[in-house]
């Protein structure tokens, strides 16, 4: 199942996106009556995907991020891979959806992309064993852990550099029946002149800590709630973006999340 949030002519809704993603004209949005958790109930209303606007697929209560979960990314950052998951938080006000602009803050001289697999939690949980983590997961989506790299490095902690409004694009939807192991994760930057460059090309098989291990670790620290989002780390190849660029995070089995970069 592909779960999404949309803006439609009468308002907003959670929906199931139905059809063949290889044929965008076939995609329709079936309205969910309340929320996507548990067994969704449908109202019977539908819209063609082309007639609505995709929003961030979940209203996250909190966003927990894992740093340096790929050894090659830890190496490019000049530090060893941590023995345990290195976690930090992004505010939920940083979340935007597909095609929403990433606002480049004037206080930063370098803003980087970080394409990541995101896990969406489906039920309240605490002290979850890694082997049972799948029981508390609603599904998976694409994320971009946008980072003001100069401020991350100068501040010595990551809240400001990771926390700006628009610094957590999510989407295009949540896929509920996905195996998170062995998925390709790619980030492409397209410049104003139309040229593109593949910046990141990793695979979740390179995780230092698996999705189950991450959920076990995080849930020992804090209670996880339905709609919480966990970003699982980024592969090597992070790099700067500039206003006028478009950044696309594409994950096998999910789809592509694209956002333009603009001056704030």
pLDDT tens figures, 40-55: 999 999 999 999 999 9
Q: Is the pLDDT of residue 202 over 90?
A: yes
**pLDDT score at 74:** 81
**pLDDT score at 73:** 86
CA dihedral sign of residues 211, 167, 250, 185: negative
**What is the number of other CB atoms lying within 10 angstroms of the CB of residue 5?**
24
Q: Give percent of the chain with pLDDT exceeding 70.
A: 100
**Backbone dihedral region of 134: left (phi > 0), alpha (psi from -120 to 50 degrees) or beta?**
alpha
- pLDDT band for position 80 (50/70/90)? confident
**What is the number of other CB atoms lying within 10 angstroms of the CB of residue 137?**
22
At 134, is the secondary structure helix, strand, or coil?
A: helix
**pLDDT score at 78:** 81
The model carries a pTM of: 0.96
Q: Is the pLDDT of residue 198 over 90?
A: yes
Which residues share a beta bridge with 249?
A: 187, 257
Taking all residues of the chain, what is their mean pLDDT, rounded to a whole number? Answer: 96
Q: Is the pLDDT of residue 79 over 90?
A: no
| Cβ-Cβ contacts under 8 Å for 58 (sequence gap 6 or more) | 5, 120, 141, 170, 174, 227, 229
Q: Is the pLDDT of residue 77 over 90?
A: no
Q: What is the mean pLDDT of residues 126-147?
A: 98
Q: What is the mean pLDDT of residues 239-244?
A: 98
**What is the number of other CB atoms lying within 10 angstroms of the CB of residue 123?**
13
């Amino acid at each position: 199942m592909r779960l999404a949030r949309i803006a439609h002519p009468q308002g907003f809704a959670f929906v199931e996106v139905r059809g063949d993603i290889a044929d965008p004209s076939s995609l329709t949005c079936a309205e969910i009556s309340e929320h996507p958790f548990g067994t969704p109930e449908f109202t019977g209303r539908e819209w063609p995907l082309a007639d609505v606007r995709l929003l961030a697929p979940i209203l996250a209560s909190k966003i927990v991020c894992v740093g340096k979960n790929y050894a090659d990314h830890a190496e490019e950052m000049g530090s060893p891979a941590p023995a345990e998951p290195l976690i930090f938080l992004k505010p939920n006000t940083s979340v935007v959806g597909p095609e929403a602009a990433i606002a480049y803050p004037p206080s930063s001289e370098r803003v980087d992309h970080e394409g990541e697999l995101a896990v969406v939690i489906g039920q309240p949980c605490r002290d979850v064993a890694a082997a049972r983590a799948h029981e508390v997961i609603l599904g998976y989506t694409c994320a971009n852990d946008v980072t003001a790299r100069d401020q991350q490095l100068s501040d010595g902690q990551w809240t400001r550099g990771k926390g700006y409004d628009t610094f957590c694009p999510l989407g295009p939807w949540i896929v509920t029946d996905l195996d998170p192991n062995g998925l390709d994760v790619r980030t492409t930057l397209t410049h104003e002149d139309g040229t593109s460059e593949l910046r990141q090309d990793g695979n979740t098989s390179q995780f230092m800590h698996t999705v189950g291990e991450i959920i076990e670790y995080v849930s020992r620290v804090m209670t996880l709630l339905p709609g919480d989002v966990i970003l699982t780390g980024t592969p090597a190849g992070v790099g700067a973006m500039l206003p006028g660029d478009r950044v696309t995070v594409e994950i096998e089995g999910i789809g592509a999340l694209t956002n333009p970069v603009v001056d704030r």
